[in-house]
Amino acid sequence: MTSDPLMNTYKRQAIDFVRGTGATLFDADGKEYIDLLAGIAVCSVGHANPAVAQAVADQARELVHVSNIFGTLPMRRLAEKLRSTTGGWGRVFFCNSGAEANECAIKLARKAGSGKRYKVLASLGGFHGRTLATLAATGQPEKWKGFEPLPVGFSHLPFNDLRAFEEALDGETAAILVEPIQGERGVIPATLPFLKGLRALADRFGIPLIFDEVQTGIGRTGSWWAFQHLGVKPDIFTSAKALANGLPIGACIADEPYGSVFTPGDHGSTFGGGPVVCAAALAVLDYIEHEGLLAKTVERGRYLEEKLRQLSGVELVRGVGLMRAAELTKPVAFEVVSKLLQEGVVLNATSDSVLRFVPPLVISESQIDQAIGKLGAVLNKCST
């Protein structure tokens, strides 16, 4: 029997973090790290954000769980607040993760398709989660191995190839599901003509356009939702990751008629919409508003982009707001990540030549400067 009581699902780094504040993390020896990862686009309002901590503590003393057989104030408030971020549309289903939020979206589309329309068109390279249906929606065949047969009805077309989607659509198609920016694949933005074309296709076929905003949402691109700066409205979109700054929550938000497709018994979750996570999420959304973090994200994102472009060893920089990737001239990304960790910078590689930058939105310019200085030095060593 192996001595590790944890299942072998992640290649974990050798560091355990014990504390964090803003965009800074500390290990057990008190060593400081600048965090350019935010727990993979999660801790957007900063580690151990005091406003979120206070909201969690207050709510935990008040009421923690009653089941979805009853309503609670935090859940109702959060649904209203999320609706305000869209400009007034959307009914919300709360769950506990991004995968579950996407499961909800897929079930909504299938129910709306009345058994006749069941297929989902998704993108090659897209990522939607690890449950069986969201794994089937994920366009990365290497992740399917060992788990087949997967649920049927999912097909994957080249991202940004409108014609391929158009050709794949038929009378059995229930939905189109895409990320506005493919995060796990290395921050690949959808083109505007592609998204507008998908919108038109969905309208023509009377099916929902679903955006997976699990990684792009909650201000990461400088607007509440990536679709807002793109100007292409989905019928359904999903959120998770940054919504409660690290507490487990997911949300599927649907405009009419899809928001009213479920009836009691169709879908559910024991923990979804629990008072504590909803109180945390409300504190996150309030914090983003009060601190003007959307506008700051645009500014700091540009600053980061500029700094990255100046580095030798960086071929190109892509992305929006504080969701960026640097494509390297050499396949040294994983080496760069481990060397930088030793230098006190937390970063992540999505492939051997792509570094991904999704820091807390509260990161300061001086932290960006320090981290980029260290990255530059490491890149110089690794690319020679």
Ligand X SMILES: Cc1ncc(COP(=O)(O)O)c(C=O)c1O
Residues forming contacts to ligand X in the complex (CB under 6 A) are 97-99, 102, 127-129, 179, 183-184, 212, 214-215, 240
Instruction: Give the phi and the psi of residue 74 in degrees, each rounded to 5.
Output: -60, -40
Catalytic, out of 127, 159, 227, 237: 127
Cis geometry, peptide bond prior to residue 151 (ω within 30 degrees of 0)? no
Which tokens go with 147? 């788990």
Nearer to ligand X, 25 or 101 (CB): 101
Beta-bridged to residue 19, according to DSSP, are 26
Residue 212 bears catalytic tag: yes
Strands 119-123 and 154-157, bridge-based pairing: parallel
Nearer to ligand X, 34 or 358 (CB): 358
Residue 122 CB, shortest distance to ligand X, in Å, is 11
Given CA atoms 217, 218, 220, 221 in this order, what sign does their dihedral have? positive
Residue 130 CB, shortest distance to ligand X, in Å, is 6
Catalytic, out of 212, 262, 296, 357: 212
Nearer to ligand X, 127 or 194 (CB): 127
Residue 127 CB, shortest distance to ligand X, in Å, is 5
Burial class (CB in 10 A: 0-12, 13-18, 19+), 168: middle
Rounded CA Rg of the chain: 21
Residue 307 bears catalytic tag: no
Nearer to ligand X, 137 or 332 (CB): 137
Nearer to ligand X, 322 or 332 (CB): 322
Residue 170 CB, shortest distance to ligand X, in Å, is 26
Catalytic, out of 241, 296, 307, 339: 241
Instruction: Give the phi and the psi of residue 63 in degrees, each rounded to 5.
Output: -170, 130
Residue 66 CB, shortest distance to ligand X, in Å, is 24
Nearer to ligand X, 247 or 328 (CB): 247
Residue 144 CB, shortest distance to ligand X, in Å, is 16
Any idea which residues carry the catalytic annotation?
A: 127, 212, 241
